[in-house]
Amino acid sequence: MDYQHTVHWSVDNVGDKAFQSAVDEAGAMLRDGKLIAFPTETVYGLGADARSDAAVEAVFQAKGRPADNPLIVHIADEQDALLAAAAVTETAEKLMQAFWPGALTIILPHNGTLSTKVTAGLPTVGIRLPDHPAARAVIRASGCPVAAPSANRSGRPSPTRAVHVAEDLDGRIAGVLDGGPTGVGLESTVIDCTVEPPLILRPGGVTQKEIENVIGAVGVDPALAGDSQPKSPGMKYRHYAPEAPLTLLDGSAAFMREQISASRERGERVGVILTKDLAGESGAEREYVLPDGDPETVARELYHALRTFKQTEVDQIFMQVITGEDLGFAVMNRLVKAAGGRVLTENRML
């Protein structure tokens, strides 16, 4: 569905009259089967009534998303999990108490009330209670469980600001709730609680270590980018790609400068994402400077950084790999997908 005008509401001031008016209007649109983008603590989501085939189909059309890629269902309160799940296991209950509201999606058997387009025909559904007042308010106002993938065109970097949503979806959706930049910057961790031990299907804002501190040992799916039918979004198709090709560099600052120099000698316009200690020394035409290189900062800035490099301005983007476990693992998961697997490693042999 195309819209002549996509409504934009500001919801920065939580609880004031403008906030409540925007939430009520957006909630009514969701009830009517329209699509609304809203902020969460991870990325902006594109919401639709999870029970409506027509509304969910409109999400796939707006995003250009493959139909075999399931959607996460977002709820406003913990008890609303049973609007989508057949039952909540003891393990899932522990995770909900520890991390909800928050950046954790829990996969459970669904109760049969959702559109099959949400679950991609699977017997399970991913459910999340977001940690953002505007998200929970609009879901509550809608009166329905809300299926909400990231609010971007499929394959593009996920949106962490309302302007990113507008770049991809203006004229394709009914409205956008603008709550400013998101806090985490990466999508939620997805954990499958239908198997024993539970299995992490997508790394994200809640780390494996944090989860294991609550429920004990969990597995990590070795086929995060496999070809089997996915239970979780972000497992099958290329994601997060900027307009210009991204190449990851595993090596020293000198190695980075060598690769940038070689690229420029080939006549390519080069952009680079780097930390402030290397700013101005890369030799690239354009630099996006991260205030710090720690995983938390990179996660928060990553998608915005990738979107700043336009194909009309650069032919190649370089970025050094992010090391470390926990959130660093999640960041690298997104970066490798964004780069289409292109990683150059410095030869460190003496």
**Residue 240 annotated as binding site:** yes
**Residue 188 annotated as binding site:** yes
Rounded Cα distance between 178 and 166, Å, is 10
User: Is the four-CA dihedral 46, 34, 78, 12 of positive or negative sign?
Assistant: positive
**Residue 160 annotated as binding site:** no
Smallest Cα–Cα separation from 161: which of 302, 63, 292, 335? 302
String of DSSP letters for 17-64? HHHHHHHHHHHHHHHTT--EEE--SSS-EEEEETT-HHHHHHHHHHHT
Residue with tokens 């090391």: 323
**Residue 151 annotated as binding site:** no
**Residue 128 annotated as binding site:** yes
Kindly give, in sequence order, each residue whose CB lies less than 8 Å from that of residue 157, ignoring residues fewer than 6 positions away.
Answer: 164, 240, 241, 242, 302, 303, 306, 307, 338
**Residue 74 annotated as binding site:** yes
For the chain, the residue count is 350
**Structure-derived torsion over alpha carbons of residues 86, 39, 248, 168, reported in degrees to the nearest 10:** 100
**Residue 156 annotated as binding site:** no
**Peptide linkage before 181 cis (omega within 30 of 0):** no
Return the number of other C-beta atoms located less than 10 Å from residue 138's C-beta.
Answer: 30
Kindly give, in sequence order, each residue whose CB lies less than 8 Å from that of residue 185, ignoring residues fewer than 6 positions away.
Answer: 42, 43, 160, 299, 300, 301, 302, 303, 304
Q: Are 107 and 198 in contact (CB under 8 A)?
A: no
Rounded Cα distance between 81 and 90, Å, is 13
Return the number of other C-beta atoms located less than 10 Å from residue 164's C-beta.
Answer: 24
**Residue 158 annotated as binding site:** yes
**Residue 124 annotated as binding site:** yes
Kindly give, in sequence order, each residue whose CB lies less than 8 Å from that of residue 213, ignoring residues fewer than 6 positions away.
Answer: none
Kindly give, in sequence order, each residue whose CB lies less than 8 Å from that of residue 48, ignoring residues fewer than 6 positions away.
Answer: 30, 33, 34, 35, 55, 56, 58, 59, 146, 147, 148
Residue ranges of the binding site for ATP: 65, 69, 124, 150, 158, 202, 240
Residue ranges of the binding site for L-threonine: 42, 74, 128, 148, 188
Residue ranges of the binding site: 42, 65, 69, 74, 124, 128, 148, 150, 158, 188, 202, 240
